[in-house]
Amino acid sequence: MPWTWAEATGEFASYLDAERGAALRTARAYLGDLEEFRRLHAARRGQDPVPARVDIAGVRAYLAALFGKNDASSIARKLSSLRAFYRFLVKRGQVTDNPAAVVRSPKRRCALPRALTVDDTFRVVEAPAGARDRAVLEMLYGAGLRVSECCGLDLSDVDATHPARSAGAQRGGGDALVHVRHAKGGKERIVPLGGKAVAALDAYLAERRAPADQAALFVNHRGGRLTSRSVQRHLRRDAALAGAPAATPHALRHSYATHLLDGGADLRSIQELLGHASLSSTQIYTKVSLDHLMSVYDQAHPHAQGKGKGKK
């Protein structure tokens, strides 16, 4: 005999607990979404939904009711709950098809990266008093590294012509190459490192204290590899103490790409430097750069300054 909605959700709750071993919070989220579906269906049709009679049109009507009150991420999650519920009902033989499976999730808006101005970037990078933290920030901005990539660097990843690999060596800030081996997606790449970053790296390595067998470039006070969480924590602390703008390690990477684009670098080159798998991932920086350009225009162009003002 076909289950009622109450019977179906009750069985699903038992399944989540006994078979899936779902966390209480996860189970509550699933069941809360299903209750919302029931309530909106009842408001529209005057009665609770019958699981076996819910069709694609009913699922789409549900999503339509959510728009304007929920963001795309929330709607996608609610649709995912409905899909999981109907996958369970298919397994139990209560329905033959999953009506939510063919309904597409709404596209999530891709938030633009937050890029700092050049002056603010310099203030952030120069905020740390310690040589190690200054070198880390110079690497993040100077080479556009992800924080995980930076923490994953070994001494041997700085090019062989760079004398800073032997602690105490100084070279006055020439350029270098960095081999990024622990990149996203398992891809490797070679990126250049400018003079200021090299000088900061030299200063750090002159006082680096680590066991002889420690290959990590950046180490903590115990001699172990520095972690991404530590970098984020130190950046937040140092920026606050120095009165610099609040920033994240990833904001420095975004700033690196945006400033390169503002300086005339082409998208394909920036793609290679950032290690993006596709050019579409890099093209977001054209919008960031355009926003910066429009801000400059609004501040500098006489007609822009007169926008909204009536003629005399």
Task: Check residue 242 and give its pLDDT.
Answer: 86
Question: Does 234 participate in catalysis according to the annotation?
Answer: no
Sequence-distant (≥ 6) Cβ neighbours of residue 212 within 8 angstroms? none
**For the chain, what is the radius of gyration of the CA atoms?**
27
How high is the pLDDT of residue 140? 94
Residues 6+ apart with CB under 8 A from 111: none
Scored b (16 or more CB within 10 A) or e, 145-171 reads bbbebbbbbbbebbeeebbbbeeeeee
pLDDT 10s digits, 226-278:
999 999 999 999 999 888 888 999 999 999 998 998 888 888 888 888 888 77
The residue from 253, 254, 256, 259 that is catalytic is 253
Question: Is residue 253 flagged as an active site residue?
Answer: yes
3-class SS of residue 288? helix
CATH 1.10.443.10 fits 118-298, yes or no: yes
CA distances from 300 to 230, 264, 290 (A): 41, 21, 15
> Which is the catalytic residue, given 44, 184, 268, 287?
184
Which pLDDT band, with edges at 50, 70 and 90, does 218 fall under? very high
Catalytic residue among 41, 78, 234, 276: 276
Model pLDDT, residue 162? 46
pLDDT in tens, 110-151: 666 678 889 999 999 999 999 999 999 999 999 999 999 999
135 within 8 A of 218, measured Cβ to Cβ? yes
Assessment of whether the complete model's pTM goes beyond 0.85:
no
Q: How far, in Å, CA of 304 to CA of 222, rounded?
A: 56
Assess contact for 190 and 179: CB atoms under 8 A: yes
Q: Is there a catalytic annotation at residue 222?
A: no
pLDDT band at 109 (very low <50, low <70, confident <90, very high): low
Q: CB within 8 A of 26, min separation 6: which ones?
A: 16
Q: What are the Cα distances from residue 297, in Å, to 90, 292, 293, 303?
A: 59, 9, 6, 9
Residue 229 falls in the annotated catalytic set: no
| Res 303 pLDDT > 90 | no
Provide the 10 A C-beta neighbour count for residue 120.
16
- Which candidate in 78, 134, 146, 208 is catalytic? 146
Statement: residue 166 has pLDDT above 50: no
Mark whether 276 is an active-site residue: yes
Question: Looking at per-residue confidence, does 111 or 85 come out higher?
Answer: 85
Question: Stretch 179-207: mean pLDDT, rounded?
Answer: 86
**How far, in Å, CA of 270 to CA of 251, rounded?**
16
> What CATH number was assigned to the domain covering residues 5-91?
1.10.150
Averaged pLDDT, 195-208: 92
Of the candidate ranges 123-137, 163-177, 292-306, the one whose mean pLDDT is the lowest: 163-177
Indicate if 146 belongs to the active site: yes
How far from 110 is each of 43, 71, 208, 282, CA to CA, in Å? 33, 12, 40, 13
Strand partners, 70: 67
Domain ranges of the chain: 5-91, 118-298
